[in-house]
Structure 1
Amino acid sequence: MSNRYNKAALLAGTIMASLVIATPAHAQSDSQPQENPVGTDIDADAGTGGEAIVVTGSRIQRRDLTSTSPLATVQDEEFKLSGAVNVEQVINTLPQVVPGATSFSNNPGGGVATLNLRGIGAARTLVLVNGRRWVSYDTSQVVDLNTIPQFLLDSVDVVTGGASAVYGSDALSGVVNFRLKQDLSGVEAGGQYSITDRGDGARYQGYLAVGANTSDGRGNVTAFAEYYNRKAVFQGARDFSRFALGDDGDVLSPGGSPTTPQGRVSVAPTAVVGVDPDGTGPLQAPTLVRGVGNYATAFGANFGSPGVSDVFDVPGDYYNYAPANYLQVPQERYTIGGYGHYEISDAVTAFVEATFVNNRVANELAATPVGGTFNVNLAAVQPYLSAADFAALQQIDANETAINAARAAAGLAPLFGPQAGGLNAQDPGIVQLGISRRILETGARNALDERNAFRVLAGVRGPAFANWNYEAYYSYARTRNAQIQSGNISQSAYRRAVENGDINVFGAGTLSQADVDGISILAQNGEVSTLQVASASLSGTLGSFGWGGDAIGLAIGAEYRKVGAEFIPDTALSSGDVVGFNAGDPTAGSYSVKEVFGEVRVPLIADRPFFHRLELNGAARYSDYSLEAVGGTWTYAGGAEWAPFADLTFRGQYQRAVRAPNVGELFGGQSNGFPGATDPCALASAATDATVRDLCIQTGVPAGLVGTAGLQPATQIQGLFGGNPDLEEETSDTYTAGVVFRPSFIPRLNIAVDYFNIKVENYISTLGGGLNGALNLCYNVIQDINSAYCQAFATGRNPANGQIGDSGFLPLIGNANVAKVETAGVDFQVDYSLPLNMGLFDESSKLNFFFLGTYTDTFKFYAVQDLDAFDECAGRFGQLVCGNPQPKWKWSSRLSWIDGPLTTSIRWRHLGKVRDDDDSTDYVVEELKAYNVFDLALGFDITEQLSLSMGVNNIFDKKPQVIGDNQEQANTYPGVYDVLGRDYFVSASLKF
């Protein structure tokens, strides 16, 4: 066989174990012979004079790849073998990751792909590209992974635990660093095509990258472009998602929505049956009918035939909305960009980066359901109704009139009409009806997001003096999103049309195009997110302790960042007149931070008995935020590595990290609301309970008014809802401890076991889940004036009368630093390479194996960090608290055979069983069983320039286990379990 294939096998062998060991390599001064470190491209002489490198999680240059924090690396080969074009397809298979938004996120959706390490939240995972911050997409300041060019990836590093001391805010759960290929010379072109076993969901990709070195050899420039298109798959295309399933006793049955295309009409029970003057029992005089046709049923009249009512059958008449919803959302993406560097002089190398991404993703839901209470003019709607139904409505009108008359005679206020609070303008000939109807005539609801994101960066680097190097750069990133919503209904226009009889809602298919045009509204909103970073750093060495260790490494620097974002809804959305998609309040804000940081690496001892290597490290950063509530913060880290001999390394680290609140949390649009609530201070019991009484007085209630009904004159209490500019920073403490074993008696075997423990405090969450919940927690549960819950009412009561929400004194029931998260577990990593003295294409071949697994022992969410009560989400899922399944066991493993130009590889993805998180409810499906998926891939180097890859993901067509009321969407959790089924891909790459 040619030497070319031997080289190909050697290279493939070094990268095929693509999710690598926590410390991918030691210094190459180890006594045992070493191959290239698995999952890296470091030269074999690294550590003995090789080129200095920077490991993710540190800014110090070094000549090995050791890491105190657990570090996993995904090589570019993994993307090829898995057929992944969007980076989240691979990253979400890592056991450290709980999927965020994905290509299957339709409701909830948003048209983005996000990354959520350890399940702590996408906003608490820092995403870098080439070690620097990337572009965010909205007011939450989260990176959309769709903007990262997958075809240029060299590797992806995943670092567990807080890393704010090295990188600044947001790195509470860890850092993910996407490394792009550098110094490309020549042309790389390629493409991929994927399609499911059912012939749908096609995906197309084509890319081109051109790199060239300058004629003097002092620089390089690379330009690239990509096009990607993903076709939609609807839920109706799969058996498990074709029907909206719900819990029906002890079985799952087709359910759906009671808001149907044929329409459903009901009336208040008092209007049908009648009540006595004080509203407590049947009306004795005048005698009224106790039921009127189908309107007396619990779900009212169902218009199975236009204008003719029948009894609503539960759930037989429910509308199956599932087929109209996306299972895989469509996407179209254009990416262009370039980067380069040039050595201006021996001391100055300039570098630039530029990227532009146009990304369009749509979400689609079934047609808009509209419901409400309407005051219908009987004469106007008579032409739409059968004689029997019109007569029934006339009788109901007479009932309302009689009830009002009877109450007036008893000196009581009417139940119907403007004097009853304006809830229905009851006059003879006008009747109050509850009407719900799905406006199928407008078509599905569709929200198209088109995001234009660009990022530019320019900087200089080079030797500063002696063994010191410098780097300084400035970057600017901006994303603008335009969302256009179709299928919405104008609530005000619909109400006028129904009440005046301008449209016929009593049956399916009764609306004309003119009717549709009159009630439809095209809504749109925009988002803008910006990030500016100016950073400068020095790194170098200070000498050594003389005990065999390397020189002390040091890095110092300063950074300035400014983030800004705004959400701009149109008038219809901000007014709340739109029915279909959620309304939104305008949001706008920005803040900046100035930082200084330092990092030190101290190799103490090397090549001594029981001290093959002993090393300490530390880092610290001081951040000064323009946010008054955050101000100045410190983050810091310290760790150690001890290798008693070459085969074994122990390591541990502690890190304190922070996350400043994002623009949405701080400056989210605020608006007044009037929810129903009970003020505990207005209850008579408050006057006799010393603790409650004192707390009421502390929060602003005059002592003489505690326990009096006059303290709450209405059942609704006014509050202010939205962002909170007084939020403080979140903090996290991370402890990691592990062992790395590379036995010299089993060459090429690497084993790592790492324990992690992460605690996030001051976690930002909605205060009390609402105004009533906040009142209860303040006065009945926590009972501490210094708590965020009580402080909201201390500033939200009128000091003159103690009333909440009176005379401009409004409690802010928005975001607050009230919750806490704790998670702990163990990461397991194994990789092994075994040479074979046989092969089909060469005299020898190689087997590569890797295993990357996580056991999550606990994940505790404290809704109130001041209390001991928490929800356990490790091994659980559900809509109550936990959301996406978080199995205790999760792993990904791959076995590959590299035989000359041919690579044959099998991947095994495993998710452990999980159970529902709502112990108060018995669901039909309380437990999701363990889930295993197997993938097969083949790669073949036809020539040194041309390579082909092909594969089948989910070769056994494993389907998700279906669930009912405790699902996210599509009767499952689509971001976690495979919803496409067996899926094929073929790709080609050409280099010349």
Structure 2
Amino acid sequence: MFNRKTKASLLASSVIFGSLVATPVVAQDDPTIEPAAAEDEYIVVTGSRIQRLNVETAAPVAVVDAEEFSLSGAVNVENVINTLPQVVPGFTSNSNNPGNGASTLNLRGLGEERTMVLVNGRRWMFYDADQIVDLNTIPQFLLEGVDVVTGGASAVYGSDALAGVVNFRLRHVDGVEVGGQYSITDRGDGERYQIHGAIGTEFADGRGRATVFGEYFNRKSIFQGEREFSNFALGGETFGLPLQQFGSSTIPQGRFNAPGSVAVAPGAEDLNEDGICDPGEGCSILAQGLVIDDAVFDAPGVARARAGDTYNYNPANYLQLPQERYLIGGYAEYEIFDGVEAYTEVSFVNNRIAQELAPTPVTGTFNINLETAEPLFDDATFAALQQLDANETVAAAQRQAFNDSLGYCGPGDTLPDDPDAPACFGQLAGAAPGVVSTSLQRRMLETGARNTLDERNAFRVLAGLRGDLGSYINWDAYYMYARTRNANVQDGNISRSAFQSGLDGTGTPINPFGAGTLTDDMVDAVTIRAQNGDVSTLEVLTGYLSGTFGDFAFGDAAPIAFALGGEYRRVAASFIPDTALASGDVIGFNAGSPTDGSYNVHEIFAELDIPLIETDSGLRLDINGAARYSDYSLENVGGVWAYAGGIEFSPMPDIKFRGQYQRAVRAPNVAELFGGQAIGFPGANDPCGNDEFISANPGSEAICVATGVPSGNVGNSDVVQLDTQIPALFGGNPNLQEETSDSWSVGVVIQPTAIPGLTITADYFDIVIEDTISIAGGSLQGLMDLCYGDIQDISSPVCQPFVGIRNDAGAITVDGPPLVAGVNIAELGVSGIDLQVNYGIDMPFSLFTNGGVSDFNIAFLASWTESSYFVPVPGLDTTIECAGEFAGQCGEPTAAFKWTSRFSWVDGPMTVSTRWRHLSAVDDDDNSVDYAQFNGVERISAYDLIDVTLSYAWNDMITLSVGVNNLFDTLPGTPEYDASGVVTNRPNTLLLGDNQEQANTYPSTYDVLGRDFFASVLFRF
């Protein structure tokens, strides 16, 4: 029957064995913490809807207790979750570019969209069209624990649970709690403040209870320029050219070529007597007009050597994003009459997070009207423009004559009708006399940094009823609605149309040629504020029965248990950019088209738990199964099945063996299906500009030429690769189907009676996801490598995005970015072993109790990743192995060995605790480039961090805690340079050069704040 303990367990699961942190023992009882489950209490365990007597399942479950959050000084849950061995960090508070202000959870490195996040066993709110949970919205100070379930759990919880499930359990409060925390780095910056409170009470003579809570959190910013290791953006040495950023803050923040510099493809002998590129002699024009760039240029009239974007953008980027958060909510339950209870949960979050980037780089081809430009330019620049105008007129005539000689080239033709004939030369339409067509790249220093502010207002409401049906069956039904509204405001953007009109005489005239040449009026004329908003909603209606078939059982085993129910879900999202963003007129932050879409799903599900054998000697054998049928409104998904089966066997009380198989499914999310096209600038190396790639892949030169690279430019990075980032259009694909995964695990649980307090669990897991939604190749870089290295067929869908988009020199520019979209093509897989050890022992001494004892607790949670692979196109020998790798196609470092361990001494009211975090060494995944040749690294050494905490329960009402994270101040080292800007000394391998994600390292994986102090106080009344 329903009792107080049973009702509490339905809202929050009780303690599951094998927690990450042994619970400290305090001198007094704590009435605010839920008691552990009694031996005869039925509870609900994460990974199942069946109430059961024991707290163990066939699926491996790792648990983080609430104490880990307080002992680590973690205010945002990301700071603890990302240290777990099962997690590869997603976006965090240190993710500025890339980043979006959210904190996400990436279980097993299989993607945030494949990790299901629950709170109290139920779905939480999304924050965008990707249907991903922002961990910032979960109240850390109310956590009772966090359960991490490995492997697909779609049969129990539905779509998205391919990698596994993470369930955040909130506790009820009895009385009043008020607390606060202050954190600051060893450098005296990056302050974080938190104030929180909660009130909980029983009412109506114990028939009901409620908890309400609130929190304010403020995090100050840290810029990359405030740390020596991140002050200068390593990366200008791309393609082996010398680094142009020196280790001195006196270097200007932007560099410009001398007026009149003309960039042409190498091979001056091919120029005619007038110094003009003659297509008949095999010369190709690199850029017709004046080229302005952040890089250092050669003398006027001499071909330049490109060194990437050598402007030092790092100081203007955040190392820690500022954040301000208000969080309020509550949950309650009330027994409206015997056997029937109503319950509710309400939560509201206002979250403001800013990002900042360096001033906008304007790139593209623009027309300059010489008549209107003359008053603005100095004599030398204007003379150079006049010469360019004359050259362009002659060059256009020469191109026309050359094409006419072929006999079949018409105006605008770039490829002949005859596939065996040579291509027509370039675009025939040139600028009119008196107008110079200019390839321009300029950093808009005068406009200041780009800033974007995300303000997310999210709320979630849930109401439900639960009760008994007789003595053996319980029922539960609830409705949940969640909505997140994000308003994004961007400053520092440039209007492409206004910039163009300022050059062609149709708008306010501007002079971009030289440092400081833009006046305030010019800046005002070309800058633009952009805004966009997005809304995501989730509706869930769920009802199910759970119980047993009376006392029906096999022999002395527990009764056979079941769960049976149905669910309706609807997800919807929209992205609404303003006119400037939607039209692509914005330069600065990425422009994009609107997104709007939704779908729903009707589901039925069932579980069965069959204890076959149970004896007094400890011999036990259980089997279980689960299945779910989902009918999606999406035509390409339709009806799909998910199912699971498991077994548990204990030959004696000291040991248990367990195993489970699961088939899981994930339907595509709204962004993957209906996302509007948006331009992005991922870092990539164009294979057609990489000599090493061309040499290593026979046939790649021909496909480069076929996709628009002049034969004389193939392998020439100075011409083909205009920047370290390559523009591309990304968007949704309404024809996507579901992803499917097969996962299985086998493990052992050892609790030797000869060693009381010791628990050891070890589980082998294997997860394979097929029909993975991905860009072919996994990224723009992977797609290019597939096309030019493996497929080498211009008619293939893999190569089609690169056909007809390159400029005359063969480069990919913002004027013609490739269009890429996700398809059901890839395969993901991960396998390895999780190990968890917990041991607690009484120590025969005490400093704070007379004649008492103290406790020493050890908690060790580790994971060995045997394999973490990605197959971009099945059937090709293109498997990318990421275990023990980083960068390239692997991205975030995936250490083969990762562990988190904690050692705690609890003596009455005092707890002294030390945490040790370890990552094994990782190697560069990209074997085609030796980054060690130009200020990069090929291997990141093993990484260890030590944290220390002291907590003291002053009395029954006050608990004080102080601690320091990263005790030994382990940070990427500050490089030393020679006179040419080449790194001569690298104190450690965390400074990655070209192999970085951002801030010269991977700031989500490796600490970038340094030694960090915190102090907290908690009052209970």
Tell me the secondary structure at the aligned position of residue 477 of structure 2.
Answer: strand
Tell me the secondary structure at the aligned position of residue 104 of structure 2.
Answer: coil
By how many angstroms is 1:296 displaced? 13
Is the Cα contact below 8 Å between 1:137 and 1:144 reproduced in 2? yes
Map 1:840-989; keep pairs closer than 5 Å: 840-842=847-849, 843-878=852-887, 880-924=888-932, 925-960=937-972, 961-989=990-1018
Residue 77 to residue 745, structure 1, CA distance change in 2 (3 Å): same
Map 1:349-364; keep pairs closer than 5 Å: 349-364=341-356
What is the one-letter code of the residue matched to 2:847? L
Is the Cα contact below 8 Å between 1:139 and 1:664 reproduced in 2? yes
Separation in structure 2 between the aligned mates of residue 780 and residue 916 of structure 1, nearest angstrom = 20
Tell me the secondary structure at the aligned position of residue 278 of structure 1.
Answer: helix
Residue 260 of structure 1 pairs with residue 268 of structure 2: no
Look up the match of 1:103: 93
By how many angstroms is 1:772 displaced? 13
Look up the match of 1:181: 171
By how many angstroms is 1:126 displaced? 0.2
Look up the match of 1:484: 489
Is the Cα contact below 8 Å between 2:779 and 2:889 reproduced in 1? no
Residue 63 of structure 1 pairs with residue 71 of structure 2: no
By how many angstroms is 1:510 displaced? 2.0
Tell me the secondary structure at the aligned position of residue 604 of structure 2.
Answer: strand
Look up the match of 1:709: none
Separation in structure 2 between the aligned mates of residue 935 and residue 657 of structure 1, nearest angstrom = 38
1:237 pairs with 222, 226, 238, which one? 226
Residue 406 to residue 884, structure 1, CA distance change in 2 (3 Å): closer
Flag structure 1 segments of 5+ consecutive residues without an equivalent. 1-13, 25-39, 284-289, 679-718, 797-810
| RMSD of aligned alpha carbons | 3.9
By how many angstroms is 1:514 displaced? 1.3
By how many angstroms is 1:781 displaced? 6.8
Is the Cα contact below 8 Å between 1:775 and 1:789 reproduced in 2? no
By how many angstroms is 1:185 displaced? 1.9
Is the Cα contact below 8 Å between 2:342 and 2:465 reproduced in 1? yes
1:278 pairs with 254, 277, 280, which one? 280
Map 1:312-391; keep pairs closer than 5 Å: 318-391=310-383
1:578 pairs with 586, 593, 602, which one? 586
By how many angstroms is 1:837 displaced? 1.1
What is the one-letter code of the residue matched to 1:913? A
Look up the match of 2:462: 457
Look up the match of 1:637: 644
Tell me the secondary structure at the aligned position of residue 87 of structure 2.
Answer: coil
Separation in structure 2 between the aligned mates of residue 767 and residue 651 of structure 1, nearest angstrom = 37
More deviation, 894-903/462-471: 462-471
Tell me the secondary structure at the aligned position of residue 931 of structure 2.
Answer: coil
Tell me the secondary structure at the aligned position of residue 993 of structure 2.
Answer: coil
What is the one-letter code of the residue matched to 1:970? A
By how many angstroms is 1:423 displaced? 8.0
By how many angstroms is 1:777 displaced? 7.3
2:154 pairs with 156, 159, 164, which one? 164
Percent identity, aligned pairs only, is: 55
More deviation, 210-219/420-429: 420-429
1:143 pairs with 109, 129, 133, which one? 133
What is the one-letter code of the residue matched to 1:759? V
Look up the match of 2:735: 726
Residue 735 of structure 1 pairs with residue 747 of structure 2: no
Residue 19 of structure 1 pairs with residue 11 of structure 2: no
What is the one-letter code of the residue matched to 1:755? Y
By how many angstroms is 1:516 displaced? 1.1
1:258-313 deviation line (CA, Å, top 9, x unaligned): 99365776545379821347353699xxxxxx99999899978689xxxx999989
Is the Cα contact below 8 Å between 1:255 and 1:315 reproduced in 2? no
Is the Cα contact below 8 Å between 1:244 and 1:320 reproduced in 2? yes
Look up the match of 1:205: 194
Look up the match of 2:422: none
Look up the match of 2:544: 537
What is the one-letter code of the residue matched to 2:194? Q
Residue 599 to residue 255, structure 1, CA distance change in 2 (3 Å): farther
Residue 471 of structure 1 pairs with residue 471 of structure 2: no
Map 1:611-760; keep pairs closer than 5 Å: 612-669=619-676, 722-760=731-769
Residue 190 of structure 1 pairs with residue 202 of structure 2: no
Is the Cα contact below 8 Å between 1:560 and 1:595 reproduced in 2? yes
Residue 186 to residue 629, structure 1, CA distance change in 2 (3 Å): same
What is the one-letter code of the residue matched to 1:619? A
Separation in structure 2 between the aligned mates of residue 772 and residue 179 of structure 1, nearest angstrom = 40
Is the Cα contact below 8 Å between 2:224 and 2:231 reproduced in 1? yes
Look up the match of 1:228: 217
Residue 591 to residue 406, structure 1, CA distance change in 2 (3 Å): closer
By how many angstroms is 1:628 displaced? 1.2
Is the Cα contact below 8 Å between 2:592 and 2:677 reproduced in 1? no
Residue 553 of structure 1 pairs with residue 572 of structure 2: no
Residue 650 to residue 42, structure 1, CA distance change in 2 (3 Å): farther
More deviation, 255-264/131-140: 255-264
Is the Cα contact below 8 Å between 1:197 and 1:981 reproduced in 2? yes
Is the Cα contact below 8 Å between 2:901 and 2:916 reproduced in 1? yes
Separation in structure 2 between the aligned mates of residue 296 and residue 416 of structure 1, nearest angstrom = 32
Is the Cα contact below 8 Å between 1:658 and 1:732 reproduced in 2? yes
TM-score by length of 2: 0.81
Is the Cα contact below 8 Å between 1:561 and 1:593 reproduced in 2? yes
Tell me the secondary structure at the aligned position of residue 651 of structure 2.
Answer: strand
Residue 545 to residue 868, structure 1, CA distance change in 2 (3 Å): farther
By how many angstroms is 1:251 displaced? 11
1:401-457 deviation line (CA, Å, top 9, x unaligned): 344456667784999999998887544433333322111111111111100000000
Look up the match of 1:127: 117
Separation in structure 2 between the aligned mates of residue 955 and residue 895 of structure 1, nearest angstrom = 15
By how many angstroms is 1:601 displaced? 1.1
Tell me the secondary structure at the aligned position of residue 54 of structure 2.
Answer: coil
By how many angstroms is 1:375 displaced? 2.6
Residue 863 to residue 941, structure 1, CA distance change in 2 (3 Å): same
Is the Cα contact below 8 Å between 1:59 and 1:539 reproduced in 2? yes
By how many angstroms is 1:517 displaced? 1.1
Residue 791 to residue 623, structure 1, CA distance change in 2 (3 Å): farther
Separation in structure 2 between the aligned mates of residue 204 and residue 774 of structure 1, nearest angstrom = 44
Separation in structure 1 between the aligned mates of residue 223 and residue 924 of structure 2, nearest angstrom = 27
By how many angstroms is 1:319 displaced? 1.7
Is the Cα contact below 8 Å between 2:591 and 2:679 reproduced in 1? no
Is the Cα contact below 8 Å between 1:416 and 1:425 reproduced in 2? no
Separation in structure 2 between the aligned mates of residue 834 and residue 470 of structure 1, nearest angstrom = 42
Is the Cα contact below 8 Å between 1:75 and 1:154 reproduced in 2? yes
TM-score by length of 1: 0.83
Look up the match of 1:804: none
Residue 398 of structure 1 pairs with residue 405 of structure 2: no
Is the Cα contact below 8 Å between 1:891 and 1:910 reproduced in 2? yes
Residue 356 to residue 309, structure 1, CA distance change in 2 (3 Å): farther
Is the Cα contact below 8 Å between 2:236 and 2:310 reproduced in 1? no
Is the Cα contact below 8 Å between 2:214 and 2:326 reproduced in 1? yes
Separation in structure 1 between the aligned mates of residue 898 and residue 575 of structure 2, nearest angstrom = 37
What is the one-letter code of the residue matched to 2:20? L
Residue 594 of structure 1 pairs with residue 583 of structure 2: no
1:178-236 deviation line (CA, Å, top 9, x unaligned): 00012x22111101000000000000000111112114210011111100000000000
By how many angstroms is 1:853 displaced? 0.3
Separation in structure 2 between the aligned mates of residue 151 and residue 44 of structure 1, nearest angstrom = 19
Map 1:417-436; keep pairs closer than 5 Å: 425-436=430-441
2:206 pairs with 200, 217, 239, which one? 217
Tell me the secondary structure at the aligned position of residue 965 of structure 1.
Answer: helix
1:370-403 deviation line (CA, Å, top 9, x unaligned): 0222332334434444434433333333333344
Residue 990 to residue 788, structure 1, CA distance change in 2 (3 Å): farther
Number of positions where the alignment pairs a residue of Structure 1 with one of Structure 2: 887
Residue 770 to residue 645, structure 1, CA distance change in 2 (3 Å): closer
By how many angstroms is 1:835 displaced? 0.3
Separation in structure 1 between the aligned mates of residue 632 and residue 589 of structure 2, nearest angstrom = 36
Look up the match of 2:976: none
Look up the match of 1:503: 510
Residue 293 to residue 946, structure 1, CA distance change in 2 (3 Å): closer
